[in-house]
Chains A and B, each alone.
Chain A
Amino acid sequence: METSRHWRLRQQRYALVGEVCPSCELKIFPPRDICPDCGNEARTIFQFSGRGEVYSHTTVYQAPAGHTENSPYPLAIVRLEEGPLVTAQLTDLADKPVEIGMPVEMVTRKLRSDGERGILVYGYKFRPRLARAEQS
């Protein structure tokens, strides 16, 4: 993928920045400037919380170019708390099995590198929500 495309997508990729429709308040991700629900213009920036749950998932064994060093890896469709479905890798699972409905949260991780000499591409993945230790 070209460097210019990585650059244009950086904010939505790094931080789940989407849009909200000013007419019907639909939360939109990825941003597309037109509300898919009511058809009105929707350019208002919206920062998603990053929380969601696993809607569907699979494991990728035959990874595409640029991702082979990470394979096998889990890929999921995540239903964001605010509504939209997002396709992304899951990470930090260790030996935990993925389950439909599993609560997850967005983290920004290294997605791939364009070879040894190209740029490093960062973007959202989802991990099981961090369990908080109880302070004694």
Chain B
Amino acid sequence: MPENHLMKPNRPVGFAGYGAYIPQFRLPASEVARIWTGGQGGLPIKEKAVAGLDEDVITMSIEAARNALARSGVPASEIRAVWVGSESHPYAVKPTSTVVAEAIGATPHTQAADWEFACKAGTEAIQAAIGFVGSGMAEYALAIGMDTAQGRPGDALEYTAGAGGAAFLLGPAETALCTIEGSYSFATDTPDFWRRANETYPEHGERFTGEPAYFKHITTAAQSLMESTGTTPDDFRYVVFHQPNTKFPLRVGKDLGFREDQIETGLLVPEIGNTYAGSALVGLTAILDVAEAGDRILMVSYGSGAGSDAFSLQATGLLSARRSAAPDTLSYVRRRTEIDYATYARLRGKLVTK
């Protein structure tokens, strides 16, 4: 029996509210293939969500946060932390979180900070928020994972690097829509993906990104959490993983012993792409939109560099009554305007105009 590394706060914590945001533009993967490969080769997803000219991680976080607050019914003035995890913060220096906090009315009596850890910056903020609320330092803390990811033109990542994410308001478990039974974090120094300072596009270690990175970290995190909570895949109604493409989450789920029907509700990557820090989180919002009281949910993120955060969650009786207070995630998925590569190039600032 391994040592128990389960993380659990002194005071039980849950999600008082949750909210998603996905921009409306969709770039079909076939459009990227048309430009760069003559339409040859398999496609990792159907299409990805692309942010508009007036959207970025700040504006998208504001809408997701407003949705989370609407579902919680908690006044913004009671929030003591606004934390935004992303690898596409609009400024190099100047927090995303202060703009978000100001826009939702959480200023000035609040902590505010930006988090970074490739695709797990959002779940990392949730782990910290569990500590903030669970210790009694704060009644409520807002954790957001949001990205407008960039892939180098023609690179494999350009097919999938999408835009979107979600916000979670952490609060006391007694009044939560979904409680957090426990969590676990696993991190190692693994150079699978990186972006140096002042570079626009990331680099990746090609095939190195699979086995020692994504699969090892997610599998270990999920197994450790299940072992330490005495659960098996059958105890969970839903499971959601980080989703860099369609294949990886399906395979890691199968390796761990989950059925496809446990995975598919939260599997949004075929239609919105890899939303990086928002990926597992926005998938979780789609699950919370349909989960019933008592349903257990396993969420495991993955961030390159590398690490995974795993959470065992359980929907409460309050969830079904509160979720209609904000638009459900499918509304955003279905709000779809297809664009071609030229429009995509303009929206993503890939055209030289001066």
**Interface, chain A (partner B; CB < 8 A):** 10-11, 14-15, 47, 69-70, 89, 91-92, 94-95, 107-111, 119-120, 122, 125, 130-133, 135
Which of these, B52, B58, B330, contacts A92 with CB under 8 Å? B52
Contacts of B234 in A (CB 8 A): none
In the assembled complex, 17 residue pairs joining A and B whose CB atoms fall closer than 8 Å, in A order, are A14-B99, A47-B105, A69-B53, A94-B24, A110-B56, A120-B56, A120-B91, A122-B58, A122-B59, A130-B327, A130-B335, A131-B334, A131-B335, A132-B327, A132-B328, A132-B331, A135-B289
What separation, in Å, do the CA atoms of A47 and B69 have in the docked complex? 15
What separation, in Å, do the CA atoms of A117 and B335 have in the docked complex? 34
What separation, in Å, do the CA atoms of A109 and B337 have in the docked complex? 18
What separation, in Å, do the CA atoms of A120 and B59 have in the docked complex? 11
| 8 more A-B residue pairs beyond the given contacts A70-B54, A109-B55, A110-B54, with a C-beta to C-beta distance below 8 A | A94-B24, A109-B59, A110-B56, A110-B59, A130-B331, A130-B335, A133-B330, A133-B331
Distance of B189 from chain A, by nearest CB (Å)? 34
The dominant DSSP class at the A interface is mixed
9 nearest interchain CB pairs?
A14-B103, A94-B337, A133-B330, A109-B54, A133-B331, A110-B54, A108-B62, A132-B331, A109-B59
Contacts of B332 in A (CB 8 A): 130
Distance of A37 from chain B, by nearest CB (Å)? 26
Judged by a CB distance under 8 angstroms, whether B271 is at the interface is no
Query: Which B58-84 residues have a C-beta within 8 angstroms of A?
Result: 58-59, 62-63
What separation, in Å, do the CA atoms of A120 and B103 have in the docked complex? 14
What separation, in Å, do the CA atoms of A69 and B351 have in the docked complex? 11
Instruction: Report whether A107 and B331 are in contact in the complex, using a CB–CB cutoff of 8 Å.
Output: no
Distance of A60 from chain B, by nearest CB (Å)? 14
